[in-house]
Structure formats: structure tokens, C-alpha cells
Amino acid sequence: MTTRRSRHALRRQRQSGGALLAELWVSAAPNGPRNIQANLPGCSGQQNQRLGSRRSRHARRRRRQSGGALLAVLWVSAALSAIVFSLAATVRSEFDRAASAVDSTRAYYLAQGGIERFLLHLAQGAGPNSPFRPGQRRLRWDFPSGAVDIEITGEDGKLSVYSSPPDSLGRLFVNLGIDGPQAFQIAGAIASARQSATAANYAPGSSFASAWPSFLQLEDLLKIGGLTREMYYGWWERDPEGRLVERGGLARHLTLIETGAVNVNYASAAVLRAAGVSEGDLAGLLQARESQVLDNFPGMGRALAGGVYLSGGGSSAYTVRATARLAGGRPIERSVEVLVRFGKPRLEPPLGIVRWFPSAN
């Protein structure tokens, strides 16, 4: 009995030792368990095959799990990178927008300072030390923070909506590119509207305004039938040579201020032609005023076509446009425009601002 038990114990020890040796060989074998199935002591071929296949499945499962984790890490890294780049681009764009807004505000106040400096010299009057002479059309001032270019347009260089003859208005519209019949029709409508408005507004005992446009602002001309926004503000078209040419733009050639004559220092070529200046005199006039202020010119004081007179020197009102450019900063420009006139000694202040355009870009 003891001998039988000893034999069974010895057999179990051999089987356990063989299984342990098989596991060690399987883990160390470079070519897998199939090449060593016949050499495992104490283990059958089927046991070795099942043990090797189990180890192979565990290895493949571990490789799949590690590959999935790596893929998840890559996707999370890509998502975080996209969020970081998007946030950086947003912050950068907001920073640029804020910097542009600050520079635009600085340029606006620089342009406003240029206009206020011009008004100061205008109020002081022309003198030996004054940078502005009546009839001058351009000025430039350099400040530590930037430069300001001043464009000066005398209202006396435009045709008055209230006092200009209808024929002169019609010729002006034709010179600006409006068809002849339509141009003179609009001029006649303007003359009729201003006469009706004047008669109704100033009739004895009447306290009601006329239904016709009273032209309190120049934009009231848009109420005239047939006058479009393109005619008022202007449009561009190509000439026969393919170059862009501006047409229309009545707002730059008309004024509501009563002018006794057309100032040759500020009048455009279209206004001078409408006033009756010949082409020969026009070329010489435009060339002469580029180098000097004209106080006298042939034809001044003499009535031209339609009873229009020419004058020189300064104007009774000015449209001043200031364009500011910052120094050493972003390429930002800001323009401010103002309409200023000299008042009558007893009824108005010596210098008054009629209209202010904070954004004239």
C-alpha cells in the first residue's frame, strides 16, 4: 500500500515538473510552442499545443489593447491641439481688433486736432506768421504722433442752390455726365422747389412750412424727382481709353450758402465751365492757381453766362477735410470733415461750425 502511494506521488511530481518546464520553454522559445512540443518531458503534444495557443491569444489580446490605448491617446492629443490653436487664433484676432480700434480712435482725435488748429488760425485772420492764407487749398501739419493733411474747399467755389440760374445748374449737371434733357429738367425742378419754398415760408402771416423741400440740408436735393443717389454721390465708369472716370457727384459742386460769385481758387473745372469760362481761360486758370493764390484774374468782376461773376481771394465758408496718419504704427487713416462759416457781426458768432462729419473716410 505504501509502495503504491509512493509511485502515485512520484508520478504527480514528474507531471508538475514537466508542466513547469514546458511553461519555461514556451516563454523562452523564439519560434513559439509548436517547435518544442515533442521535447517537453512529462507533457503530451496536445497539452503543449493548448498551452501555446492560450499564450498566443493572451499576447494578441495584450497587443490589441495596447494599440487601442495608443490610438485613443493620439486622438485626444489631436483634439487638444486643435482647441489650443483655435484659442490662440481667437486671442490673436481679438488683440489685433482691439489694437486697430485704439489706433483708429487716436487717428480720429489727431484729425480733430488738425481741424481745430486750422479753425484757430482762421479765427485769428491772415497775418505774416499765419500758415493759412485765404484762397489756399492745402495744408500739412506734422505732430509727434502723426501727420495731418488738410484739404480746404471754399463754399464760394460752388454753385448756390438758392441763387444760381437754372441754366448754370443744367450746364453743371451736363458737365458731370448727366444726360442733357434730364439735367435741365432736374435744374428746373430745383429752381421751382426753391421758389415755392421761399414764397410759402416767408409769406406774411404764415407759420407753416411749405410742402416743397426747403433745402435745410444739401441731402434734401434727393427729394427732387429724377435726381438719384448715384447723381448726388457720384459713380464711376470707363472712358473710351479704358480708364475709370468719376461721373456725377453733385454734392461736391453745390452749396446751400448764398454766394455772390464763383471763387476761382476753389471752383472745380465743371463749375467754371458751367459759369461760362472758356476752355482757353480755364486751362490757364487751373495752372496758375496750383502755384499761387489768385486775387485777380481776367474776367473777374464781369458777368459771364447767366449772370455769374468770378471772384478771388478767400471764401465766406469752408469745407475742411482732415486726414490723419499715425507715425510708426499701423497703416490706419482717419478723416474728419467740417463745414464752417463766418457769421454776421451782430447775428452770429464770428466763426461757427455748421456741420460736423466724424467719419469722412
Q: What pLDDT, in 10s, does the model give residues 245-257?
A: 888 899 999 998 8
Percent of the chain residues topping a pLDDT of 70: 70
What are the cell numbers at 318?
A: 469752408
- How long a stretch of residues is the chain? 361
139, 150 Cβ separation under 8 angstroms: yes
Q: Residue 62: is its pLDDT beyond 80?
A: no
Strand positions, DSSP E, 302-342: 310-311, 317-326, 333-342
For the stretch 310-358, pLDDT in tens is: 888 888 889 999 999 998 767 788 999 999 887 655 556 667 888 888 8
pLDDT tens per residue, range 137-193: 999 999 888 999 999 998 989 998 988 888 989 999 999 999 989 999 999 999 888
d(CA 6, CA 13): 11
More confident residue, 361 or 130: 130
Tens of pLDDT, residue by residue over 199-245, are 444 444 555 544 454 678 888 899 898 899 999 999 888 888 888 88
177-187: per-residue pLDDT in tens?
A: 999 899 999 99
- Cβ atoms of 177 and 231 within 8 Å: the answer is no
Are the beta carbons of 244 and 236 closer than 8 angstroms? Answer: yes
For residue range 17-44, what is the model confidence (pLDDT) as tens digits? 555 445 544 454 544 444 444 444 555 5
From CA 267, how far away is CA 16, in angstroms rounded?
118
Where are the domains positioned within the chain? Answer: 2-65, 115-357
Predicted confidence at residue 127, as pLDDT, reads 72
